[in-house]
């Protein structure tokens, strides 16, 4: 029997198949299905997304490994697309974190070089651990891999504090320690990305998040700078949140949702995404079988 391709291998194949690979953030299993239908080849679970959407908390280190794993399992159970996961600082035990991510079905994870009391990468006040401490995190995560194809990515937030050269120097150390891809956070120009990609021999990810320090570059622009992965971590979440807020306000003020129907997904559209009718047939067949036994 042919061995199934692991999530890590699928993630690596996706990086090779599209330049740059668009990696889109999902906040739940249903969004994962929508992203797959839209044609994306890889998904992302943001630590901020878990904190904000699943727990109603700011992304300030409140959520732990078990919280993230719960969302990982829900996403990977509904889609075969590879999932890259935000593992923050590794929760003090990157070896265990890598092992549990693989068990939950993730294709890769990224660790960052901030202190445990982390901040959003596009906010001021970030504090970094030493490069040596981050190297220990990476090596620990690599030791925890039960699937050698599982991707260990290192994120560096150093550009804001130590300048672009300092960030590149850190990235070199992280690659030497075993990081197979680099997440260059909060860069502000294509030239900065070019300097990163020229200095490193591994794929570099650009975080194209809204309302942050990085301009909303196109895939064509990022590709010209040598970027191999373009990340959109919370785009859908922000759009969903704005639509939900408008919906709640409208129903409250108008006493009806009639004016919103044109902007809503219909019941049949929902059923198509969920493959509802196939599940219904299976449920009816099972019910009939049980009745036949009595």
Residue of 41, 52, 59, 99 marked catalytic: 59
Kind of pairing, strands 42-45 and 204-207? unpaired
**CA gap 209, 231 in Å, rounded:** 7
**CA gap 157, 134 in Å, rounded:** 12
Q: What are phi and psi of 223, to 5 degrees?
A: -60, -35
Residue of 12, 74, 99, 207 marked catalytic: 207
**CA gap 144, 136 in Å, rounded:** 12
Q: What are phi and psi of 173, to 5 degrees?
A: -60, -40
Residue of 112, 157, 173, 180 marked catalytic: 112
CB atoms within 10 A of CB 174: 28
CA dihedral 216, 221, 222, 223 (to 10 degrees): 150
**Among this protein's residues, is 70 annotated catalytic?**
no
Is the N-terminal amide bond of 101 cis, ω within 30° of 0? no
**Among this protein's residues, is 112 annotated catalytic?**
yes
Residue of 36, 71, 113, 185 marked catalytic: 185
Provide the β-strand partners of residue 112: 155
**Among this protein's residues, is 277 annotated catalytic?**
no
**Among this protein's residues, is 207 annotated catalytic?**
yes
**Among this protein's residues, is 67 annotated catalytic?**
no
Residue of 10, 33, 110, 137 marked catalytic: 110
**Among this protein's residues, is 86 annotated catalytic?**
yes
Residue of 155, 170, 195, 228 marked catalytic: 155
Residue of 10, 52, 120, 170 marked catalytic: 120
Residue of 10, 41, 44, 232 marked catalytic: 44
Closest Cα partner for 7 from 151, 142, 143? 151
Residue 290 token pair: 């049980």
Q: What are phi and psi of 178, to 5 degrees?
A: 130, 0
Cβ contact 59:52 at 8 Å: yes
Question: Residue 65 is inside which H or E element, if any?
Answer: helix 65-76
Residue 21 token pair: 């690979």
Residues marked active site are found at: 44, 59, 86, 88, 110, 112, 120, 155, 185, 207
């Amino acid at each position: 029997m042919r061995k199934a391709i692991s999530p890590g291998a699928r993630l690596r194949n996706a990086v090779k198949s599209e330049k740059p690979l668009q990696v889109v953030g999902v906040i739940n299993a249903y969004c994962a299905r929508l992203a797959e239908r839209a044609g994306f080849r890889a998904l992302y679970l943001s630590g901020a997304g878990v904190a904000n959407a699943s727990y109603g908390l700011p992304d300030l280190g409140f959520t732990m490994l078990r919280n993230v794993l719960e969302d990982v399992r829900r996403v990977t159970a509904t889609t075969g697309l590879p999932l890259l996961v935000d593992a923050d600082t590794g929760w003090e035990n990157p070896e265990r974190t890598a092992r549990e991510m693989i068990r939950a079905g993730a294709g890769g994870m990224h660790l960052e070089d901030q202190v445990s009391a982390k901040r959003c990468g596009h906010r001021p006040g970030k504090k970094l651990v030493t490069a040596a401490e981050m190297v220990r995190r990476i090596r620990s995560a690599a030791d925890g891999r039960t699937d050698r194809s599982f991707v260990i990515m290192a994120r560096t937030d150093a550009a804001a504090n130590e300048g672009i050269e300092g960030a590149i120097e850190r990235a070199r150390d992280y690659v030497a320690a075993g990081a197979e891809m680099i997440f260059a956070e909060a860069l502000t120009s294509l030239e900065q990305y070019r300097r990163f990609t020229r200095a490193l021999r591994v794929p570099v990810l650009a975080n194209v998040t809204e309302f942050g320090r990085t301009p909303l570059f196109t895939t064509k622009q990022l590709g010209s700078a040598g970027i191999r992965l373009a990340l959109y971590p919370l785009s859908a979440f922000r759009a969903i949140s704005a639509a939900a807020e408008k919906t709640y306000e409208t129903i409250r003020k108008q006493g009806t949702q009639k004016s919103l129907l044109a902007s809503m997904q219909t019941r049949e559209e929902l059923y198509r995404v969920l493959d509802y009718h196939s599940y219904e047939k299976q449920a009816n067949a099972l019910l009939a079988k049980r009745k036949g036994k009595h």
